[in-house]
Amino acid sequence: MKERVNFGSKIGAILAAAGSAVGLGNIWRFPYETGNHGGAAFIFIYLICIFLIGLPIMIAEFSIGRHSRANTAGAYKVLAPGTPWKYVGYMGVLAGFLILSFYSVVAGWTLEYTLQALSNGFSGMTQSKEFTLFFASFSSSTFRPILWMFCFLIMTHIIIEMGVKKGIEKSAKIMMPALFLLIVILAVCSLTLPGAGNGLEFLFKPDFSKVTPKVFMGAMGQAFFSLSLGLGCLSTYASYFGKEANLSRTAISVGIIDTFVAIIAGIIIFPAAFSVGISPDAGPSLLFITLPNVFQLAFGDIPLLAYLFSLMFYILLALAAFTSTISMHEVVTAFIHEEWKFSRRKAAWMVTVGCIVLGICSSLSFGPWSDFHLFGLNIFDFLDSLTSKIMLPLGGMLISIFTGWYLDRRIVWNEISNESKLKVPLFKAYIFILKYIAPIAISLIFIKELGIL
Ligand code: PFF
Protein backbone atom coordinates (compact mmCIF):
# COMPACT_ATOMS: atom_id res chain seq x y z
CA MET A 1 0.00 0.00 0.00
CA LYS A 2 1.26 3.48 -0.75
CA GLU A 3 3.05 5.54 1.89
CA ARG A 4 0.64 7.83 3.63
CA VAL A 5 1.27 10.75 5.96
CA ASN A 6 0.53 10.43 9.64
CA PHE A 7 -0.05 12.87 12.44
CA GLY A 8 3.31 13.37 14.12
CA SER A 9 2.17 12.79 17.69
CA LYS A 10 -0.63 11.30 19.75
CA ILE A 11 -1.49 14.63 21.28
CA GLY A 12 -1.61 16.18 17.80
CA ALA A 13 -4.08 13.50 16.73
CA ILE A 14 -6.26 14.08 19.79
CA LEU A 15 -6.25 17.85 19.38
CA ALA A 16 -7.09 17.64 15.67
CA ALA A 17 -10.04 15.32 16.35
CA ALA A 18 -11.14 17.44 19.31
CA GLY A 19 -10.83 20.52 17.08
CA SER A 20 -13.26 18.96 14.66
CA ALA A 21 -15.70 18.17 17.44
CA VAL A 22 -15.51 21.49 19.25
CA GLY A 23 -17.32 23.99 17.07
CA LEU A 24 -20.25 26.33 16.74
CA GLY A 25 -22.49 23.40 17.75
CA ASN A 26 -21.05 23.41 21.28
CA ILE A 27 -21.57 27.09 21.83
CA TRP A 28 -24.89 27.93 20.25
CA ARG A 29 -26.93 24.83 20.93
CA PHE A 30 -25.72 22.89 23.91
CA PRO A 31 -26.08 25.59 26.60
CA TYR A 32 -29.56 26.49 25.44
CA GLU A 33 -30.75 22.89 25.25
CA THR A 34 -29.37 22.26 28.72
CA GLY A 35 -31.01 25.29 30.29
CA ASN A 36 -34.39 24.53 28.81
CA HIS A 37 -34.44 20.79 29.21
CA GLY A 38 -33.77 20.14 32.84
CA GLY A 39 -30.24 21.49 33.52
CA ALA A 40 -28.11 18.85 35.18
CA ALA A 41 -30.71 16.22 34.27
CA PHE A 42 -30.12 17.02 30.58
CA ILE A 43 -26.36 16.99 31.08
CA PHE A 44 -26.66 13.58 32.69
CA ILE A 45 -28.61 12.25 29.72
CA TYR A 46 -26.28 13.91 27.26
CA LEU A 47 -23.34 12.20 28.93
CA ILE A 48 -25.08 8.85 28.61
CA CYS A 49 -25.59 9.53 24.89
CA ILE A 50 -21.98 10.56 24.45
CA PHE A 51 -20.50 7.64 26.33
CA LEU A 52 -22.95 4.91 25.47
CA ILE A 53 -23.57 5.65 21.80
CA GLY A 54 -21.31 8.48 20.60
CA LEU A 55 -18.01 7.03 21.72
CA PRO A 56 -18.59 3.51 20.36
CA ILE A 57 -19.47 5.02 16.97
CA MET A 58 -16.44 7.27 17.17
CA ILE A 59 -14.23 4.25 17.88
CA ALA A 60 -15.89 2.47 14.93
CA GLU A 61 -15.06 5.44 12.67
CA PHE A 62 -11.51 5.46 14.00
CA SER A 63 -11.14 1.73 13.30
CA ILE A 64 -12.50 2.06 9.77
CA GLY A 65 -10.15 4.95 9.01
CA ARG A 66 -7.00 3.61 10.57
CA HIS A 67 -7.35 0.11 9.22
CA SER A 68 -8.07 1.17 5.65
CA ARG A 69 -5.71 4.16 5.70
CA ALA A 70 -7.96 5.80 3.15
CA ASN A 71 -10.46 8.62 2.78
CA THR A 72 -13.97 7.80 3.91
CA ALA A 73 -15.25 6.45 0.57
CA GLY A 74 -11.99 4.67 -0.19
CA ALA A 75 -12.18 3.04 3.23
CA TYR A 76 -15.26 1.03 2.31
CA LYS A 77 -13.67 0.02 -0.98
CA VAL A 78 -10.75 -1.40 0.99
CA LEU A 79 -12.81 -3.04 3.71
CA ALA A 80 -15.79 -4.19 1.65
CA PRO A 81 -14.69 -4.31 -2.00
CA GLY A 82 -17.41 -4.60 -4.60
CA THR A 83 -20.24 -3.93 -2.16
CA PRO A 84 -22.62 -0.98 -1.96
CA TRP A 85 -21.05 0.05 1.39
CA LYS A 86 -18.99 2.60 -0.54
CA TYR A 87 -22.15 4.68 -0.86
CA VAL A 88 -21.99 5.30 2.90
CA GLY A 89 -18.65 6.94 2.19
CA TYR A 90 -19.98 8.92 -0.77
CA MET A 91 -22.84 10.18 1.34
CA GLY A 92 -20.36 11.27 4.02
CA VAL A 93 -18.28 13.19 1.49
CA LEU A 94 -21.36 14.91 0.15
CA ALA A 95 -22.54 15.73 3.68
CA GLY A 96 -19.09 17.15 4.51
CA PHE A 97 -19.20 19.36 1.43
CA LEU A 98 -22.72 20.60 2.10
CA ILE A 99 -22.12 21.29 5.81
CA LEU A 100 -18.89 23.11 5.03
CA SER A 101 -20.68 25.40 2.60
CA PHE A 102 -23.31 26.69 5.02
CA TYR A 103 -21.20 26.41 8.17
CA SER A 104 -18.68 28.76 6.52
CA VAL A 105 -21.36 31.41 6.20
CA VAL A 106 -21.85 31.51 9.97
CA ALA A 107 -18.12 31.11 10.50
CA GLY A 108 -17.72 34.20 8.30
CA TRP A 109 -20.11 36.11 10.56
CA THR A 110 -17.79 35.40 13.50
CA LEU A 111 -15.08 37.32 11.62
CA GLU A 112 -17.36 40.33 11.09
CA TYR A 113 -18.22 40.29 14.80
CA THR A 114 -14.58 39.90 15.79
CA LEU A 115 -13.83 42.97 13.71
CA GLN A 116 -16.74 44.87 15.23
CA ALA A 117 -15.56 43.89 18.70
CA LEU A 118 -12.01 44.90 17.83
CA SER A 119 -13.06 48.31 16.55
CA ASN A 120 -15.36 48.73 19.56
CA GLY A 121 -18.33 48.87 17.21
CA PHE A 122 -20.84 47.69 19.82
CA SER A 123 -19.95 50.26 22.43
CA GLY A 124 -22.56 52.87 21.51
CA MET A 125 -25.40 50.36 21.38
CA THR A 126 -27.60 50.06 24.42
CA GLN A 127 -30.90 48.57 23.31
CA SER A 128 -31.61 45.09 22.06
CA LYS A 129 -33.35 46.63 19.02
CA GLU A 130 -30.05 48.06 17.87
CA PHE A 131 -28.33 44.69 18.02
CA THR A 132 -31.20 43.03 16.18
CA LEU A 133 -31.09 45.70 13.51
CA PHE A 134 -27.35 45.44 13.13
CA PHE A 135 -27.49 41.68 12.71
CA ALA A 136 -30.47 41.79 10.34
CA SER A 137 -28.93 44.38 8.09
CA PHE A 138 -25.53 42.67 8.10
CA SER A 139 -26.71 39.10 7.50
CA SER A 140 -29.19 40.09 4.79
CA SER A 141 -26.77 42.26 2.85
CA THR A 142 -25.29 40.91 -0.34
CA PHE A 143 -21.55 41.46 -0.26
CA ARG A 144 -20.18 41.69 3.26
CA PRO A 145 -21.22 38.27 4.55
CA ILE A 146 -20.05 36.69 1.29
CA LEU A 147 -16.71 38.41 1.64
CA TRP A 148 -16.25 37.03 5.16
CA MET A 149 -17.35 33.56 4.11
CA PHE A 150 -14.83 33.77 1.29
CA CYS A 151 -12.09 34.77 3.76
CA PHE A 152 -12.97 31.92 6.06
CA LEU A 153 -12.85 29.35 3.29
CA ILE A 154 -9.57 30.70 1.99
CA MET A 155 -8.08 30.47 5.49
CA THR A 156 -9.33 26.89 5.73
CA HIS A 157 -7.93 26.20 2.27
CA ILE A 158 -4.49 27.47 3.26
CA ILE A 159 -4.33 25.09 6.24
CA ILE A 160 -5.45 22.17 4.08
CA GLU A 161 -2.85 22.96 1.44
CA MET A 162 -0.18 23.03 4.10
CA GLY A 163 -0.95 19.36 4.62
CA VAL A 164 -1.88 16.99 7.39
CA LYS A 165 1.11 17.48 9.65
CA LYS A 166 2.14 21.05 8.98
CA GLY A 167 -1.38 22.33 8.40
CA ILE A 168 -4.04 20.40 10.29
CA GLU A 169 -1.99 19.07 13.19
CA LYS A 170 0.10 22.16 13.77
CA SER A 171 -2.85 24.53 13.62
CA ALA A 172 -4.80 22.34 16.08
CA LYS A 173 -1.84 22.35 18.45
CA ILE A 174 -1.85 26.14 18.44
CA MET A 175 -5.56 26.87 18.26
CA MET A 176 -6.93 24.35 20.73
CA PRO A 177 -4.82 25.53 23.71
CA ALA A 178 -5.69 29.14 22.77
CA LEU A 179 -9.35 28.14 22.73
CA PHE A 180 -9.09 26.49 26.19
CA LEU A 181 -7.39 29.53 27.62
CA LEU A 182 -10.00 31.92 26.23
CA ILE A 183 -12.90 29.81 27.37
CA VAL A 184 -11.60 29.56 30.93
CA ILE A 185 -10.88 33.30 31.18
CA LEU A 186 -14.35 34.12 29.84
CA ALA A 187 -16.04 31.71 32.26
CA VAL A 188 -14.20 33.18 35.24
CA CYS A 189 -15.17 36.74 34.18
CA SER A 190 -18.77 35.73 33.70
CA LEU A 191 -18.92 34.06 37.11
CA THR A 192 -17.80 37.21 38.87
CA LEU A 193 -20.82 39.20 37.65
CA PRO A 194 -23.51 40.08 40.19
CA GLY A 195 -26.40 37.62 40.01
CA ALA A 196 -24.27 35.01 38.24
CA GLY A 197 -25.68 32.37 40.61
CA ASN A 198 -29.11 32.53 38.94
CA GLY A 199 -27.54 31.65 35.61
CA LEU A 200 -25.75 28.70 37.13
CA GLU A 201 -28.95 27.56 38.75
CA PHE A 202 -30.77 27.72 35.41
CA LEU A 203 -27.97 25.76 33.78
CA PHE A 204 -27.37 23.11 36.40
CA LYS A 205 -30.41 22.67 38.61
CA PRO A 206 -31.57 19.14 37.85
CA ASP A 207 -35.20 18.92 36.88
CA PHE A 208 -36.05 15.44 35.72
CA SER A 209 -39.67 16.40 35.05
CA LYS A 210 -38.48 18.26 31.93
CA VAL A 211 -36.84 15.16 30.51
CA THR A 212 -39.27 13.63 28.04
CA PRO A 213 -38.42 10.96 25.44
CA LYS A 214 -38.15 13.79 22.91
CA VAL A 215 -35.54 15.52 25.02
CA PHE A 216 -33.64 12.27 25.20
CA MET A 217 -33.61 12.03 21.43
CA GLY A 218 -32.69 15.71 21.13
CA ALA A 219 -29.70 15.04 23.36
CA MET A 220 -28.64 12.22 21.11
CA GLY A 221 -28.91 14.32 17.96
CA GLN A 222 -26.87 17.03 19.61
CA ALA A 223 -24.26 14.53 20.79
CA PHE A 224 -23.96 13.30 17.26
CA PHE A 225 -23.47 16.66 15.55
CA SER A 226 -21.23 17.89 18.31
CA LEU A 227 -18.88 14.91 18.09
CA SER A 228 -18.68 15.27 14.26
CA LEU A 229 -20.01 11.76 13.78
CA GLY A 230 -21.73 10.17 10.82
CA LEU A 231 -19.91 11.59 7.81
CA GLY A 232 -16.56 9.91 8.09
CA CYS A 233 -14.80 13.02 9.31
CA LEU A 234 -13.19 11.22 12.21
CA SER A 235 -12.47 8.18 10.06
CA THR A 236 -10.59 10.43 7.64
CA TYR A 237 -8.56 11.86 10.53
CA ALA A 238 -7.98 8.35 11.92
CA SER A 239 -6.48 7.33 8.59
CA TYR A 240 -3.58 9.59 9.66
CA PHE A 241 -3.29 8.06 13.16
CA GLY A 242 -0.16 6.10 13.95
CA LYS A 243 -0.16 2.41 14.81
CA GLU A 244 0.43 3.14 18.46
CA ALA A 245 -2.59 5.43 18.89
CA ASN A 246 -5.01 4.02 21.44
CA LEU A 247 -8.37 4.39 19.71
CA SER A 248 -10.62 4.06 22.75
CA ARG A 249 -8.52 6.43 24.79
CA THR A 250 -8.45 8.99 21.97
CA ALA A 251 -12.22 8.76 21.64
CA ILE A 252 -12.70 9.26 25.39
CA SER A 253 -10.39 12.30 25.35
CA VAL A 254 -12.29 13.84 22.44
CA GLY A 255 -15.61 13.17 24.18
CA ILE A 256 -14.40 14.76 27.40
CA ILE A 257 -12.93 17.82 25.69
CA ASP A 258 -16.05 18.36 23.60
CA THR A 259 -18.37 18.09 26.61
CA PHE A 260 -16.12 20.27 28.74
CA VAL A 261 -16.17 23.07 26.16
CA ALA A 262 -19.94 22.81 25.79
CA ILE A 263 -20.53 23.05 29.54
CA ILE A 264 -18.08 25.90 30.00
CA ALA A 265 -19.79 27.75 27.13
CA GLY A 266 -22.95 27.54 29.24
CA ILE A 267 -21.01 28.90 32.21
CA ILE A 268 -19.99 31.87 30.07
CA ILE A 269 -23.40 32.56 28.59
CA PHE A 270 -25.95 32.07 31.37
CA PRO A 271 -24.42 33.94 34.31
CA ALA A 272 -23.81 36.93 31.99
CA ALA A 273 -27.32 36.79 30.53
CA PHE A 274 -29.04 36.38 33.88
CA SER A 275 -27.04 39.14 35.48
CA VAL A 276 -28.62 41.59 33.02
CA GLY A 277 -32.03 39.91 32.94
CA ILE A 278 -32.00 38.78 29.31
CA SER A 279 -33.36 35.35 28.53
CA PRO A 280 -31.10 33.60 26.05
CA ASP A 281 -32.37 31.66 23.08
CA ALA A 282 -30.70 29.24 20.69
CA GLY A 283 -29.15 29.50 17.27
CA PRO A 284 -27.54 32.39 15.45
CA SER A 285 -29.55 35.00 17.33
CA LEU A 286 -27.96 33.88 20.61
CA LEU A 287 -24.46 34.46 19.29
CA PHE A 288 -25.06 37.51 17.17
CA ILE A 289 -27.88 39.44 18.84
CA THR A 290 -28.32 38.42 22.46
CA LEU A 291 -24.72 37.98 23.51
CA PRO A 292 -23.21 41.21 22.16
CA ASN A 293 -26.02 42.97 23.99
CA VAL A 294 -25.45 41.00 27.17
CA PHE A 295 -21.73 41.74 27.12
CA GLN A 296 -22.29 45.48 26.74
CA LEU A 297 -24.81 45.57 29.56
CA ALA A 298 -23.00 43.21 31.90
CA PHE A 299 -19.68 44.99 31.72
CA GLY A 300 -21.06 48.42 30.81
CA ASP A 301 -19.54 50.04 33.91
CA ILE A 302 -16.08 49.10 32.84
CA PRO A 303 -15.93 49.66 29.07
CA LEU A 304 -12.50 48.10 28.75
CA LEU A 305 -13.84 44.86 30.20
CA ALA A 306 -16.85 44.88 27.85
CA TYR A 307 -14.45 45.44 24.98
CA LEU A 308 -12.08 42.63 25.95
CA PHE A 309 -14.85 40.21 26.81
CA SER A 310 -16.61 40.64 23.45
CA LEU A 311 -13.36 40.46 21.55
CA MET A 312 -12.24 37.28 23.29
CA PHE A 313 -15.64 35.70 22.84
CA TYR A 314 -15.73 36.23 19.07
CA ILE A 315 -12.16 35.11 18.66
CA LEU A 316 -13.15 31.97 20.59
CA LEU A 317 -16.05 31.38 18.24
CA ALA A 318 -13.93 31.92 15.16
CA LEU A 319 -11.28 29.49 16.45
CA ALA A 320 -13.88 26.85 17.31
CA ALA A 321 -15.44 27.18 13.86
CA PHE A 322 -12.05 27.16 12.14
CA THR A 323 -10.83 23.81 13.49
CA SER A 324 -14.20 22.32 12.45
CA THR A 325 -14.20 23.73 8.91
CA ILE A 326 -10.67 22.39 8.45
CA SER A 327 -11.88 18.88 9.31
CA MET A 328 -14.81 19.01 6.90
CA HIS A 329 -12.60 20.34 4.11
CA GLU A 330 -10.15 17.50 4.68
CA VAL A 331 -12.88 14.87 4.28
CA VAL A 332 -13.67 16.09 0.78
CA THR A 333 -10.14 17.00 -0.25
CA ALA A 334 -8.78 13.58 0.76
CA PHE A 335 -11.59 11.94 -1.20
CA ILE A 336 -11.01 13.90 -4.42
CA HIS A 337 -7.25 13.51 -4.14
CA GLU A 338 -7.25 9.77 -3.54
CA GLU A 339 -10.29 8.60 -5.49
CA TRP A 340 -10.28 10.93 -8.46
CA LYS A 341 -6.47 11.16 -8.53
CA PHE A 342 -6.17 14.93 -8.60
CA SER A 343 -3.17 16.46 -6.86
CA ARG A 344 -3.93 17.43 -3.26
CA ARG A 345 -3.60 21.07 -4.24
CA LYS A 346 -6.10 20.82 -7.10
CA ALA A 347 -8.45 18.76 -4.95
CA ALA A 348 -8.34 21.40 -2.24
CA TRP A 349 -9.12 24.14 -4.77
CA MET A 350 -12.06 22.19 -6.14
CA VAL A 351 -13.52 21.93 -2.65
CA THR A 352 -12.87 25.57 -1.82
CA VAL A 353 -14.35 26.90 -5.05
CA GLY A 354 -17.35 24.57 -4.85
CA CYS A 355 -18.03 25.62 -1.27
CA ILE A 356 -17.68 29.29 -2.14
CA VAL A 357 -20.34 28.90 -4.85
CA LEU A 358 -22.75 27.01 -2.61
CA GLY A 359 -21.86 29.25 0.32
CA ILE A 360 -22.86 32.29 -1.76
CA CYS A 361 -26.27 30.69 -2.30
CA SER A 362 -26.60 30.00 1.44
CA SER A 363 -25.54 33.50 2.34
CA LEU A 364 -27.94 35.11 -0.14
CA SER A 365 -30.76 33.06 1.35
CA PHE A 366 -30.68 35.45 4.34
CA GLY A 367 -31.19 38.44 2.04
CA PRO A 368 -32.00 38.82 -1.65
CA TRP A 369 -32.91 35.14 -2.07
CA SER A 370 -34.89 34.74 1.13
CA ASP A 371 -38.06 34.04 -0.85
CA PHE A 372 -36.56 31.12 -2.67
CA HIS A 373 -37.63 27.97 -0.85
CA LEU A 374 -36.90 24.24 -1.12
CA PHE A 375 -39.36 22.06 0.79
CA GLY A 376 -40.55 25.19 2.57
CA LEU A 377 -37.06 26.16 3.76
CA ASN A 378 -34.57 28.72 2.53
CA ILE A 379 -31.33 27.33 1.08
CA PHE A 380 -29.38 27.64 4.34
CA ASP A 381 -32.04 25.94 6.46
CA PHE A 382 -32.61 23.31 3.81
CA LEU A 383 -28.93 22.33 3.74
CA ASP A 384 -28.78 22.39 7.52
CA SER A 385 -31.82 20.12 7.90
CA LEU A 386 -30.85 17.77 5.10
CA THR A 387 -27.43 17.14 6.59
CA SER A 388 -27.96 17.20 10.34
CA LYS A 389 -31.38 15.62 10.40
CA ILE A 390 -31.01 13.03 7.66
CA MET A 391 -27.49 12.45 6.37
CA LEU A 392 -25.58 12.39 9.68
CA PRO A 393 -27.90 10.08 11.65
CA LEU A 394 -28.24 7.80 8.64
CA GLY A 395 -24.45 7.74 8.19
CA GLY A 396 -23.92 7.01 11.89
CA MET A 397 -26.42 4.20 11.86
CA LEU A 398 -24.83 2.61 8.82
CA ILE A 399 -21.35 2.96 10.29
CA SER A 400 -22.40 1.11 13.44
CA ILE A 401 -24.15 -1.59 11.42
CA PHE A 402 -21.12 -1.93 9.16
CA THR A 403 -18.71 -2.33 12.06
CA GLY A 404 -21.02 -4.43 14.24
CA TRP A 405 -22.41 -6.80 11.61
CA TYR A 406 -20.30 -6.74 8.46
CA LEU A 407 -16.68 -6.05 9.30
CA ASP A 408 -14.52 -9.05 10.17
CA ARG A 409 -14.46 -9.27 13.99
CA ARG A 410 -10.67 -9.77 13.96
CA ILE A 411 -10.17 -6.42 12.24
CA VAL A 412 -12.40 -4.72 14.80
CA TRP A 413 -10.48 -6.41 17.64
CA ASN A 414 -7.04 -5.68 16.20
CA GLU A 415 -7.84 -2.02 15.76
CA ILE A 416 -9.28 -1.47 19.20
CA SER A 417 -6.63 -3.56 20.99
CA ASN A 418 -3.67 -2.56 18.79
CA GLU A 419 -3.13 -6.20 17.78
CA SER A 420 -3.89 -7.52 21.28
CA LYS A 421 -1.36 -5.20 22.90
CA LEU A 422 -4.04 -3.35 24.87
CA LYS A 423 -6.58 -4.82 27.24
CA VAL A 424 -10.16 -4.19 26.15
CA PRO A 425 -12.40 -5.39 28.97
CA LEU A 426 -15.56 -3.98 27.40
CA PHE A 427 -15.13 -5.42 23.93
CA LYS A 428 -18.28 -7.54 24.06
CA ALA A 429 -20.32 -4.61 25.30
CA TYR A 430 -18.84 -2.47 22.51
CA ILE A 431 -19.92 -4.94 19.85
CA PHE A 432 -23.36 -5.27 21.43
CA ILE A 433 -23.82 -1.49 21.30
CA LEU A 434 -22.75 -1.32 17.66
CA LYS A 435 -24.97 -4.22 16.68
CA TYR A 436 -28.14 -3.31 18.52
CA ILE A 437 -28.24 -0.27 20.77
CA ALA A 438 -26.76 2.37 18.46
CA PRO A 439 -28.74 1.43 15.33
CA ILE A 440 -32.01 1.32 17.26
CA ALA A 441 -31.32 4.52 19.18
CA ILE A 442 -30.32 6.37 16.02
CA SER A 443 -33.34 5.18 14.11
CA LEU A 444 -35.37 6.76 16.89
CA ILE A 445 -33.66 10.15 16.47
CA PHE A 446 -34.14 9.82 12.79
CA ILE A 447 -37.82 9.15 13.11
CA LYS A 448 -38.23 12.01 15.55
CA GLU A 449 -36.32 14.49 13.39
CA LEU A 450 -38.40 13.58 10.39
CA GLY A 451 -41.45 14.36 12.47
CA ILE A 452 -42.93 10.88 12.27
CA LEU A 453 -42.93 10.51 16.06
N1 PFF B 1 -18.78 19.18 15.54
C2 PFF B 1 -18.93 20.47 14.93
C3 PFF B 1 -19.64 21.41 15.88
O4 PFF B 1 -20.01 21.00 16.99
O5 PFF B 1 -19.83 22.57 15.51
C6 PFF B 1 -19.68 20.42 13.62
C7 PFF B 1 -19.19 19.36 12.69
C8 PFF B 1 -17.85 19.34 12.28
C9 PFF B 1 -20.05 18.40 12.22
C10 PFF B 1 -17.37 18.35 11.42
C11 PFF B 1 -19.62 17.40 11.37
C12 PFF B 1 -18.27 17.40 10.98
F13 PFF B 1 -17.83 16.47 10.18
Establish whether residue 228 lines the binding site of ligand 1, counting it when its CB lies within 6 angstroms of any ligand atom: yes
Q: What is the pLDDT of residue 452?
A: 61
Tens-digit pLDDT profile for residues 92-122 = 999 999 999 999 999 999 999 999 999 998 8
CA distances in angstroms from 249 to 10, 46, 62, 108, 270, listed in the order given = 11, 19, 11, 34, 32
Ligand 1 atom nearest residue 231's Cα:
13
Q: How does pLDDT run across 443-453, given as a tens digit for each residue?
A: 887 777 677 65
Question: Which neighbouring-strand residues pair with 374?
Answer: 377
CA distance 203 to 16: 29
CA of 43 to the centre of ligand 1 (A): 19
299, pLDDT greater than 90: no
pLDDT tens per residue, range 164-176: 999 999 999 999 9
Give the burial string for 37-55 (b: 16+ CB within 10 Å, else e): bbbebbbebbeebbbbbbb
**Three-class HEC string of the chain:** CCCCCCCCCHHHHHHHHHHHHCCHHHHHCHHHHHHHCCCHHHHHHHHHHHHHHHHHHHHHHHHHHHHHCCCHHHHHHHHCCCCCCHHHHHHHHHHHHHHHHHHHHHHHHHHHHHHHHHCCCCCCCCCHHHHHHHHHHHHCCCHHHHHHHHHHHHHHHHHHHHCHHHHHHHHHHHHHHHHHHHHHHHHHHHHCCCCHHHHHHHHHCCCHHHCCHHHHHHHHHHHHHHCCCCCCHHHHHHCCCCCCCCHHHHHHHHHHHHHHHHHHHHHHHHHHHHHCCCCCCCCHHHHHHHHHHHHHHHCCCCHHHHHHHHHHHHHHHHHHHHHHHHHHHHHHHHHHHHHCCCCHHHHHHHHHHHHHHHHHHHHHCCCCCCCCCECCECHHHHHHHHHHHHHHHHHHHHHHHHHHHHCCHHHHHHHHHCCCCCCCCCHHHHHHHHHHHHHHHHHHHHHHHCCCC
Least confident of 49-63, 274-288, 298-312, 432-446: 274-288
Mean pLDDT of 236-256: 96
Distance 388 CA to ligand 1 centre (A): 10
pLDDT in tens, 401-422: 999 999 999 999 999 999 999 9
Structural domains of the chain in order of their starting residue, each with its CATH number: 10-449 (1.20.1740)
Residue 131, C-beta contacts closer than 8 angstroms, at least 6 positions apart: 122, 125, 289, 290, 292, 293
Q: Tell me if 21 CB under 6 Å of ligand 1.
A: yes
Question: Using CA atoms, how far apart are residues 85 and 72, in angstroms rounded to an integer?
Answer: 11
Q: Kindly indicate the confidence band of residue 14, based on its pLDDT and cuts at 50, 70 and 90.
A: very high
Cβ of 225 less than 6 Å from ligand 1:
yes
Burial classification of residue 100, based on how many CB atoms lie within 10 Å of its CB (0-12 exposed, 13-18 middle, 19 or more buried): buried
User: In 189-224, which positions are buried (b, 16+ CB within 10 angstroms) versus exposed (e)?
Assistant: bbbebeebeebbebbbeeeeeebeeebbbbbbbbbb
pLDDT at 3 over 70: no
pLDDT exceeds cutoff 60 at 193: yes
Cα–ligand 1 centroid distance for 36 (angstroms): 22
Q: Identify the residue whose C-alpha is closest to ligand 1 atom 7.
A: 228
pLDDT, mean of residues 223-252: 95
Residue nearest to atom 11 of ligand 1 (CA): 228
**pLDDT tens digits for 427-441?**
999 999 999 999 998
107 C-alpha to ligand 1 centroid (Å): 12
How far away, in angstroms, is 123 Cα from ligand 1 center? 32
Which of the four pLDDT bands, split at 50, 70 and 90, describes residue 29? confident
Please say if the pLDDT value at position 362 is more than 90: yes
Contacts of 414 (CB under 8 A, 6+ apart): 67, 420
Mutate to test the pocket of ligand 1, among 26, 30, 99, 317 (most ligand atoms within 8 A of CB): 99
Atom of ligand 1 nearest to the CA of 96: 13
pLDDT at 320 over 80: yes
- Taking CA atoms only, the protein residue closest to ligand 1 atom 12 is 228
Q: Is 324 in the pocket of ligand 1 (CB under 6 A)?
A: yes
Ligand 1 pocket, residue 23 CB under 6 Å: yes
Confidence class for position 2, pLDDT limits 50, 70, 90 = low
288 lines ligand 1 (CB under 6 A): no
Whole-number pLDDT of residue 449? 67
Check if 238 has its Cβ closer than 6 Å to any atom of ligand 1: no
Q: Is ligand 1 within 6 A of the CB of residue 231?
A: yes
Q: How far is the CA of 120 from the centre of ligand 1 (A)?
A: 30
Quick one: average pLDDT of 229-254?
A: 96
19 C-alpha vs ligand 1 centroid, how far in Å?
9
Tally of residues, the chain: 453
Backbone angles phi, psi at 246, to 5 degrees: -95, 105
Give the amino acid at 327. S
Looking at the CA of residue 26, tell me the nearest atom of ligand 1: 4
76 neighbors 83 (Cβ within 8 angstroms): yes
Instruction: State whether the beta carbon of 328 lies less than 6 angstroms from ligand 1.
Output: yes
Q: How far is the CA of 94 from the centre of ligand 1 (A)?
A: 14
d(CA 32, CA 39): 10
Question: What pLDDT, on a 0 to 100 scale, did the predictor assign at position 294?
Answer: 85
Residues 118-138 pLDDT 10s: 999 888 787 778 888 999 999
Q: Confidence class of residue 245 from pLDDT cuts 50, 70 and 90?
A: very high
pLDDT higher than 60, residue 1: no
Binding site membership of 35 for ligand 1 (Cβ less than 6 Å): no
Is the pLDDT reported for residue 33 higher than 90? no
Dihedral, 66, 258, 384, 33 alpha carbons, nearest 10: 150
The C-alpha atoms of residue 110 and residue 287 are separated, in whole angstroms, by 9
Ligand 1 binding pocket includes 97 (Cβ within 6 Å): no
Phi first, then psi, for residue 241 (nearest 5°) are: -75, 150
Closest atom of ligand 1 to 233 CA is 13
Which segment of 213-227, 239-253, 314-328 scores lowest on mean pLDDT?
A: 213-227
Of 27, 28, 316, 328, the residue with max ligand 1 atoms within 8 A of its CB, to mutate for a pocket test, comes to 328
pLDDT of residue 5: 87
